[in-house]
Amino acid sequence: MRVAVIGGGVIGLCVAHYLERGGAEVVLLERDLVGGGCSKGNGGWVCPSISRPLPAPGLALTSLRWMLRADSPLYIKPSAMPRLMGWLWAFRGYCNAESYAAGVAALAALNAATDRLYRGLADDGMEFERAESGTILAYDNESELRQTEELLTRLGEERVGSVDVLDREALAEAEPDLGGDLIGLRMRGDTHVRPESLCAELAASLEARGVEIRTGERVVGFTPEAGGVRLALTSTAGSGNAADGKPAGLGADHFVLAAGAETAALAATLGRKLPVQAGKGYSITVRNARVRLSQPLHVTPARIGFTPFHGAVRVIGTMEFSGINRRLDPRRIAILERAARRYLPGALDGSERVDWVGMRPVTPDGLPAIGKLPGFPNVYVATGHQMLGVTLAPSTGHALAQLVLEGRSEIDLTPFDPARFA
């Protein structure tokens, strides 16, 4: 069986990995560099304990206050508003307790194998940066902390691991450089990885096993046939691959669309609407930062996160809806800078600094789309993982590979079926 995977981010790489392990002949297409998109500069959190849908009860009203302020945690660029109205209206419809609870349960089930699968990647010989350090959520009020604690209790320790409540003294002892007089929850079962090293190791492992990886090659369309799709039409820089300037064709038995926020455009070439928007996230990575940090840390009042890596600290946060683009808005970087100076002084002081922006793929219900594209029995989708791409990548890849190769998955993919948007 020959399978073409379109998209070389962490999701596409994991799909390709498990397809090859299952016996498929795999070719992976990436329009830029493998691991160079949304996977590159994110926080690298592997956090089943806090895997939740983006739309939450009360968020719709909060978002109204935030969305037109460029310095807010959630910003919607006014020029993008007309084309986002339908998506935002659908998003608003999921900001209720019932949808949120169902989404949390679905993500918890998808995450059940996360730790085992990450250990399996290491057992396969992949040497990527990974730390079993846990995660801390910091709060400035006890009410919000207790709400999260109650949610984690309902999920159960077998799914989220053990959870410690940290008063001000305990949190200060755990992270001495953290300011703000905060309290916290520590999830001991969470881990984190350096996403750049993870993607590099996945790609190197695939190539060593004979998987063809084509970079700088963009899929511009498909050739449908009775019962599915026959060819992916591809183009390199310029007008096309072929001598006559026309796109070249790549034949396969099955196709997987895993191109992040740009997956909707691929589905559109087949006449299918996939409501995936680009939710741009920002990060600042500082080498040799003059700060002590022993585990990933989310400062809830500022909606900002910090991740320690070997020789570096990464500051992450914000959500911006401004369409498909890679423009870096300095006002969004300034949000991270202000919060870092307030809560983790020294995080921005180091020997080198890299500012980054990436496009997270976001669906209106906050759940990924994993499964067959409606109307095409040999075309599959794996996108919409919002801020959980690194957490959900192995379980998504494993489940989708089973669906492609065996027609079914051990994990119930019903809540993630792309047909729910049809």
pLDDT of residue 155: 78
> How many whole angstroms separate alpha carbon 334 and alpha carbon 220?
36
pLDDT of residue 240: 47
AA identity, residue 305: G
Of the CATH numbers 3.90.550.10, 3.30.200.20, 3.90.226.10, 3.50.50.60, which one belongs to the domain with range 2-39+198-274+366-421?
3.50.50.60
**Across the 422 residues of the chain, what is the mean pLDDT of every consecutive 10-residue run?**
97 98 98 92 93 85 67 83 90 93 93 95 94 95 91 78 92 94 94 97 97 95 90 72 70 97 96 96 97 95 95 95 92 95 94 96 97 96 97 98 97 96 88
In contact, 276 and 261? CB cutoff 8 Å: yes
pLDDT in tens, 126-173: 999 999 989 999 999 999 999 999 888 887 776 777 899 999 999 999
pLDDT of residue 68: 66
Classify domain 56-80+129-191+277-362 at the CATH superfamily level.
D-Amino Acid Oxidase, subunit A, domain 2 (3.30.9.10)
> How many whole angstroms separate alpha carbon 412 and alpha carbon 296?
30
Q: Helix, strand or coil for residue 13?
A: helix
In contact, 219 and 231? CB cutoff 8 Å: no
Take residue 101 and report the two structure tokens written for it: 């609870």
Q: What strands, in cross-sheet order, belong to the sheet with 130-131?
A: 45-46, 191-193, 130-131
> How many whole angstroms separate alpha carbon 342 and alpha carbon 5?
43
Report CA-CA distances (Å) from 373 to 2, 225, 370.
Answer: 18, 15, 9
HSE-CB of 165 using CA atoms within 13 angstroms: 13
pLDDT of residue 63: 63
In contact, 113 and 395? CB cutoff 8 Å: yes
Domain positions in the chain are 2-39+198-274+366-421, 56-80+129-191+277-362
Angle at 35 between CA 236 and CA 45, to 5 degrees: 155
pLDDT of residue 138: 97
Among the listed residues 411, 413, 401, the one whose alpha carbon sits nearest the alpha carbon of residue 14: 401
pLDDT of residue 348: 96
- How crowded is residue 81: how many other Cβ atoms within 10 Å of its Cβ? 14
pLDDT of residue 349: 96
pLDDT of residue 80: 87
